[in-house]
Amino acid sequence: MITGFLMSSHLYGQKFDFNQNCRNAYSEITALRLKKGQQLLDAEEQLHPNNDIVTYLENYIDFIELFSSESKGRYNLLSQNGHERIEKLSSSDKNSPYYLFTQAEVYIQWAVIRLKFGDYVSALLDIRKANKLLLDNRTKYPDFKPNIKSLATLQCLFGSIPDNYKWGGSLFGLSGSIEEGSKMLNNLISYSHTNDFIYKNETVIIYSFVQFHLNNKPKEAWKLLISEGFPIENNLMSYYVLGYIGTYGGSSELALKYLLKAPRSSDFVPLSQISYFIALCKLYALDPLSDKYFQTFLAENKSKNYIKAVNQKLAWHSLIFKSEVTYQSFVTKILESGEVAIDADKQAQKEAIQKEVPDIFLLKARLLCDGGYYSKALTFMQQRTFNDYVSLKKGLEYEYRLGRIYDLSGDKTKALVYYQNVIEKGRYSPYYYAANAALNTAYIYEERKNIVMAKQYYTICLSMKDHEYVNSISQKAKSGMNRLGE
C-alpha cells in the first residue's frame, strides 16, 4: 500500500516541503483556526525560509477569511495578494509536482472568491490558467493525486458560471462535465480510505457541495458527510458544512443537534452563519425562540449579505408568534437595511416591496417542509384545499407546497400531479412556483431514467424567465441538461 505522497514530498525539492509542521498548519487553517495556522507557518518560515508551501498555505488563509466574512472591503484589500503569491511560486522549484499545482490552487481559490463577489470575467481567466497548469502537471506527474482533486473541482466550478459568460469557456477552450467531475471526486475519496491523503476532508467537502447543488442529491450529500466522520472535533469548517447541507437539505432536526455543539471560542474564525443555521433550523420546527438566534446573527455578522433575509425571517416569526404590527416593523427594516446582491436578500426585498402579508397557514407549512418535517406538514396541509384560496398566487403556493411535501417524503406519483397543476396554472405568472415545479418534475423523471421527459421539463423550466429566483432555478436546470448530455 502506498503510504502517501505527502510523507516523502521533501524528495521533490527543498522549496516545496509539505512536512509535518506544514501539515499541521494546513489542518489548523482548514479547521478555521487561522491564527494557530499562521503561527505554525511563521515557525516553519523561521526554520525553512525557502519552503514555498508556506506561501501556498498563506493563500488559504486569505481564501477562508474572504469566503467566511464576505467583506467587499477585505476583498479589495487582499486581491493583490494572489498575484504576488503566483509570482513567488512561479520562481520556485520547477522539478516538484507542487510547482504547477500550488499555482493552480491559488488561481482556483481566487476564482471561487471572484465568483462570490460577482467578478465573473476575472474568475473565468483564473479558471483558464488553473486548468492549463493542472493539465500540464498531470502530464508530468500522473500519479500525483492532488491534481485529481483540483481538476475535478474545475470541471464542476465551470458549471457555476452564469450563462451569459459561457461564451468565455468556448473561447478559452474550457469544458466541464459535472458527471465526470463527480466520479473523479468519489474515486479520490475511496482512495483516501486506504492511503495517506491530506486533502481527504477537503475533497469530501467539495463533493458534498457538488452533490447538493449540481447533482440535486441533498440526502446523499448528508450521508456522505456522516459516513466520512463529520463533524470533526475542533474543526469548525466541518460543522459549517454539515450545518449548511442539513439546514438547506431537509435534515434540519439532525443538523441542529450538531450545530449547537459547534466550537465557538476565540481560537476560531467568527462564523456568524452558524447562528443563522441554528435560527433557521429552529424556525423550521416552529420554535418561538428562533428569533433570539436571528438577532445573534445580526450582532455577529460583518457582511451586508443576509441582513434583509434575516429581517424577513424575523418578520415571519412575528407574524406567527406575535402580531402583524411587529411583522410590519421588520418589513420596514428589510427595506432600510442590507444589500440585494444574493438571491435570499433579493427575494426578501421583493416581498417587502409587494407589501403582501404571507398567509400564516401556508407559511407554517412551508417552514415545516423546508425543515424536513414532512408528515407534520402534510397533516397540516390537509386542513385546506386549492379552492379555499381566491388569490392565484396563494392557490399556486398551496399546490406547490403539497407537491414538494409528497416529493420529499417519497411519493413521487402524487407529487407529479400537483406539480403539473402548478405548471398549467402558473406558467405565465411572475411567481417562481411553476418554474420550480417544472424543475422538480424534471428531477423525478431523471431519477426514473426517463431522459426524454426530463429534458422536456428542464426545457419548460428554462422557458420561464420572469420570476423570483430565476438565476438559481435556471442554473439548476442547466446543470440537469448538462448531466443529460445537452
455 by DSSP, 3-state: which? helix
Asked if residues 482 and 178 have their Cβ atoms less than 8 Å apart, the reply is yes
pLDDT for the residue 399: 96
Q: In this structure, is residue 95 part of a structural domain?
A: yes
Q: In this structure, is residue 345 part of a structural domain?
A: no
pLDDT for the residue 359: 92
> Could you tell me the three cell numbers for 129?
490558467
pLDDT for the residue 162: 52
Residue type, 368: L
Q: In this structure, is residue 231 part of a structural domain?
A: no
117 by DSSP, 3-state: which? coil
CA 412 to chain centroid, in Å, comes to 26
Q: Which one, of 236, 63, 88, lies nearest residue 153 by Cα?
A: 63
Q: In this structure, is residue 276 part of a structural domain?
A: no
Q: In this structure, is residue 124 part of a structural domain?
A: yes
CATH of the domain at 439: 1.25.40.10
One-character DSSP codes across 140-153: H-TT-THHHHHHHH
pLDDT tens-digit series, residues 331-379: 999 999 999 988 889 889 989 998 889 999 999 999 999 999 999 999 9
Q: In this structure, is residue 142 part of a structural domain?
A: yes
Q: Give the mean pLDDT per block of 10 residues along the chain (486 residues).
A: 37 74 97 97 96 97 91 88 95 95 96 87 88 96 96 79 56 70 96 97 96 90 98 96 96 97 94 96 97 96 92 98 96 95 88 92 95 94 91 94 96 97 94 96 96 97 86 86 81
**Domains contained in the chain, number:** 2
Asked if residues 43 and 57 have their Cβ atoms less than 8 Å apart, the reply is no
pLDDT tens-digit series, residues 25-81: 999 999 999 999 999 999 999 999 999 999 999 999 999 999 888 888 899 999 889
pLDDT for the residue 166: 57
- Where a domain ends, among 199, 219, 250? 199
Per the omega criterion (within 30 degrees of 0), is the bond before 231 cis? yes
CATH of the domain at 105: 1.25.40
Q: Give me the sign of the Cα torsion angle 300, 75, 185, 22.
A: negative
pLDDT tens-digit series, residues 407-426: 999 999 999 999 999 999 99
Angle, helices 324-336 vs 307-321, to 10°: value is: 170
The total number of residues shown for the chain amounts to: 486
Q: Phi-psi bin for 346: left (phi > 0), alpha (psi -120 to 50), beta?
A: alpha
pLDDT for the residue 302: 85
- Where a domain ends, among 199, 228, 247? 199
Domain of 401 in residue numbering reads as 373-486
- Where a domain ends, among 149, 174, 199? 199
How far is Cα 101 from Cα 87, in angstroms, rounded to an integer? 14
pLDDT for the residue 7: 36
